[in-house]
Amino acid sequence: MEKKHFDKAILVTGGAGFIGSHLVRRLVKVYPDTLVVNMDSLTYAGNLENLTDIEDYPNYRFEKADICDATSVMSILRRYHIDGVIHLAAESHVDRSISDPLDFVRTNVMGTVNMLQCAKNYWESLPEKYTGKLFHHVSTDEVYGALELGNGQMFEETTRYDPHSPYSAAKASSDHFVRAWHDTYGMPTLVTNCSNNYGPNQFPEKLIPLFINNIRNRRPLPVYGKGENIRDWLYVEDHAEALDLVFHNGKAGDTYNIGGCNEWRNIDLVKALVKITDQELGRPEGDSVHLINFVTDRKGHDLRYAIDASKIEHELGWRPRTCFEDGLRATVRWYLDNISWLENVTSGAYADYYKRMYSGR
């Protein structure tokens, strides 16, 4: 019923989170003839404040629901006549997966299987079945495991899965289920595996926003181990653009790697972040360097990630647009200009988590 004024309806799960909110904003603005339904259970990481600028758009709807709840998911699929699902909802923080692995199995594995099964049941009930339908699963480069230093290797779409953390094991498992629904039931599915995102609206438990907030508050910056681990950083809006392209133009059954071609050693990134944040706060150069504090390493800490994104570049013409220096400065500026957002999300339960995580360091 809801869909009759629109050409098509897309369900985005986890649209109130970091990447999901940037994707929802982009879809709502770029495709006024598409109904965009954001389904999110609003865990600690989900925040509707991320979307206040588009909440009144005629082609946007929000539904508070859990991806593990089959009754709610079926009712949303039917009510909005959903043609495509872009599935981002997940537990996403590696440190939390080490302390609470079962939450990650429930949401990332069971939740994904529930989404697949509901989409299958709904689409198979329609006269057109799977025609014009797609289930796009948003995953991570962490499923490929860890690369060594200095050998120039990169993760390709064909790299063997080798997850190490409970988070990446749960994501790897969910990727396999998505491919199983394609191969077994003929459901049009595809998977994207992306590297580390950064930008506005990321929950400040992840490296970049946590450290910006700590520099602001003159709190220690807990660098794990010797800070030698390497990540490949991508600006979140570039990821949202890639997801849009793959969803609309990618090939069902395929996998697309997405990355920034932008590898940084953690300690070098932290020093760059300290410099930019001090500048933006109007503090003297080097003022916050003393906050850098080497702490016990993360258990099973993957050494290096690096994505080979040549497939999406050659097939769909996507490349990251944002240079790291500009993206990082814009990100620092955003957090400093949105202190009330930071304070809202770091109060309550997160304050207890923060104390537990960082006590004694």
Nearer residue to ligand DAU within complex by CB, 57 or 294: 294
Straight-line distance from the first to the last Cα atom of the chain, in angstroms, rounded to the nearest whole number: 55
Nearer residue to ligand DAU within complex by CB, 74 or 292: 292
Short-list 29, 76, 30, CA closest to 56: 29
> Cα(109)–Cα(129) distance, rounded to whole angstroms?
25
159 touching ligand NAD, by CB under 6 A: no
Tell me which of 122, 144, 167, 305 is the catalytic residue. Answer: 167
Nearer residue to ligand DAU within complex by CB, 6 or 264: 264
92 touching ligand NAD, by CB under 6 A: yes
Residues 6+ apart with CB under 8 A from 336: 212, 216, 277, 280, 281
* Min dist. Cβ of residue 225 to ligand DAU (A): 7
Residues 6+ apart with CB under 8 A from 19: 88, 138, 197, 236, 239, 240, 243
């339960």: which residue's tokens? 349
The three-state secondary structure class of 24 is: helix
Q: Is 40 designated active site?
A: no
Binding residues for ligand NAD, rule CB under 6 A, total 29
233 touching ligand NAD, by CB under 6 A: no
> Cα(175)–Cα(195) distance, rounded to whole angstroms?
15
Residues 6+ apart with CB under 8 A from 65: 39, 40, 41, 72, 73, 76
Nearer residue to ligand NAD within complex by CB, 90 or 187: 90
Cβ atoms within 10 Å of 315's Cβ, excluding its own? 15
Could you say which residues in the range 93-112 bind ligand NAD, by CB under 6 A? Answer: 107, 111
Site of interaction with ligand DAU (CB under 6 A): 92-94, 140-142, 195-196, 206-207, 210, 222-224, 229, 231, 266, 298, 305
> Cα(153)–Cα(157) distance, rounded to whole angstroms?
13
Nearer residue to ligand NAD within complex by CB, 130 or 144: 144
Would you give the DSSP letter of residue 304?
Answer: B
Over the window 45 to 64, marking each residue x when it contacts ligand NAD by CB under 6 A and - when it does not, the resulting string is xx------------------
- Binding partner at 223 among ligand DAU, ligand NAD, none, C-beta below 5 to 8 Å by kind: ligand DAU
Q: Is 198 designated active site?
A: no
Tell me which of 40, 63, 91, 141 is the catalytic residue. Answer: 141
Q: Is 141 designated active site?
A: yes
Residues 6+ apart with CB under 8 A from 128: none
Options 26, 29, 68, 358; binder of ligand NAD; rule CB under 6 A? 68
Options 10, 11, 24, 67; binder of ligand NAD; rule CB under 6 A? 67
Could you say which residues in the range 8-47 bind ligand NAD, by CB under 6 A? Answer: 13-14, 16-20, 40-43, 45-46
Cβ atoms within 10 Å of 44's Cβ, excluding its own? 15
* Min dist. Cβ of residue 143 to ligand DAU (A): 9
* Min dist. Cβ of residue 231 to ligand DAU (A): 5
Tell the burial category of 212 from Cβ atoms under 10 Å away from its Cβ (0-12, 13-18, 19+): buried
Nearer residue to ligand NAD within complex by CB, 39 or 223: 39
Catalytic annotation, residues: 141-142, 167
Q: In the complex, which residues of this chain contact ligand NAD (CB under 6 A)?
A: 13-14, 16-20, 40-43, 45-46, 66-68, 88-90, 92, 107, 111, 138, 140, 171, 194, 196-197, 203
